[in-house]
Structure 1
Amino acid sequence: MSAFDKWTERLTRRVARGTSRRSTLAWLGATITGAAVFPVLPVARAAAGSPHGGAGGHAPISSGNPQDPGDQASCDYWRYCAIDGFLCSCCGGSVSTCPPGTEMSPITWVGTCTNPADNRAYVISYNDCCGVSSCGQCLCNRNEGDRPQVRPQSNNDYNWCLGTESSIYNCSTAVIIGVALDGQK
């Protein structure tokens, strides 16, 4: 037997004599719990550019239309006034289309947002894109006009990936469906 094997055997036997299975399991459990708690420790999140979340390191995306102002990769874009989720404009889609490989849910929640270019209120349909794993980029959580879950058509906390082949959420779009009637905002 080599010297390394003898040393390893001696060390293993010494550890076995000095510890019990319970103490080893307790130590292992404490280590796993400590590792799980580590990500929730407070850290400075200076990169978050918006109070609602933000695009992080994404370049601004503009429609180029003066009647549709704003950065479509920012949570402060006017159409996103009631959005809750990842922006499809950061995930390979656009403000109104899903990324390739995903499917737009036919079931939606609605919000009413004011366009700063003309100061008119528009009804926005928020459709989830479903089918592949979550995008994980440009998370926005704006709850302007959000209603309790007893009014699901105006609540953004549901997984709206119903009526699609997959119930896996990827990102959310904001499609203009019409001008709101006066007093609807």
Structure 2
Amino acid sequence: MKWFDDFFEHKTRRVAQSSSRRSALAKLGKIFVGTAFVLPVLPFDRIGQGAHAAAPSKANDDTTCDYWRYCALDGFLCTCCGGTISSCPPGTEISKVTWVGTCRNPADGKDYLISYNDCCGATACGHCGCNRNERERPGYRMGVHNDINWCMANSSNMYNCTVAAIVGVGDGKS
């Protein structure tokens, strides 16, 4: 086994003589910087494992994922967490930044611009988790991407639930 020890000692000494700690740190720094650009575009899953919404009972029930306003929602429904479809539960505040989606109301056939705002300041509600991605865009188009923690601009970046407020109505012209 002496040959085994001698072999690895020789290789280790050669690497130590041909490289410095500074070059090793530089290579390690390049790896960290390279991953810093990749990690922010990774998806942000706020539902977790096993927190799936129950099957919808009605198409107009705003406590189910199939409600028409939730076409681009990813998160917990505020209607199941003590809030309403357009207001946050007590003890939370609405996010200062948002994402938007265009959803069609089957009752009147019109398209509506929906602003999805996270409610921030309390831990995740954990009820009525939805992940609908109709017409979602990739992560580099921030305003239309729903896999981001939108509480990042608030004083508390703890996510609780998401509201879906109507901010505009389509005119039907294309």
Instruction: Output the TM-score relative to the length of structure 2.
Output: 0.66
More helix as a share of residues: 2
Correspondence for 1:136: 126
Correspondence for 2:159: 169
Task: Report how far residue 165 of structure 1 moved.
Answer: 1.5
Q: What runs of 5+ residues in structure 1 fail to find an aligned partner? A: 1-39, 63-68
Give SS of 2:143's match.
Answer: helix
Q: Which amino acid aligns with 2:157?
A: S
1:89 pairs with one of 68, 79, 84 = 79
**Amino-acid identity (%):** 56
Task: Report how far residue 180 of structure 1 moved.
Answer: 2.6
Correspondence for 1:178: 168
Q: In the comparison of the two structures, how many residue pairs are matched? A: 126
Q: Which amino acid aligns with 2:133?
A: N
4+ residue runs over 6 A deviation: none
Give SS of 1:162's match.
Answer: helix
Return the alpha-carbon distance in structure 2 between the equivalents of residues 170 and 178 of structure 1. 25
For the 8 Å contact 1:82–1:145, the answer to whether it is kept is yes
For the 8 Å contact 2:110–2:172, the answer to whether it is kept is no
Give SS of 1:124's match.
Answer: strand
Instruction: Output the TM-score relative to the length of structure 1.
Output: 0.63
Task: Report how far residue 150 of structure 1 moved.
Answer: 0.8
Q: Which amino acid aligns with 1:161?
A: C
Q: What runs of 5+ residues in structure 2 fail to find an aligned partner? A: 1-48
TM-superposition CA deviations, 1:13-61 (whole Å, max 9, x none): xxxxxxxxxxxxxxxxxxxxxxxxxxx8xxxx8xx9xxxx4247x9x7x
Correspondence for 2:67: 77
Return the alpha-carbon distance in structure 1 between the equivalents of residues 156 and 123 of structure 2. 10
Return the alpha-carbon distance in structure 1 between the equivalents of residues 154 and 141 of structure 2. 22
Return the alpha-carbon distance in structure 2 between the equivalents of residues 138 and 154 of structure 1. 22
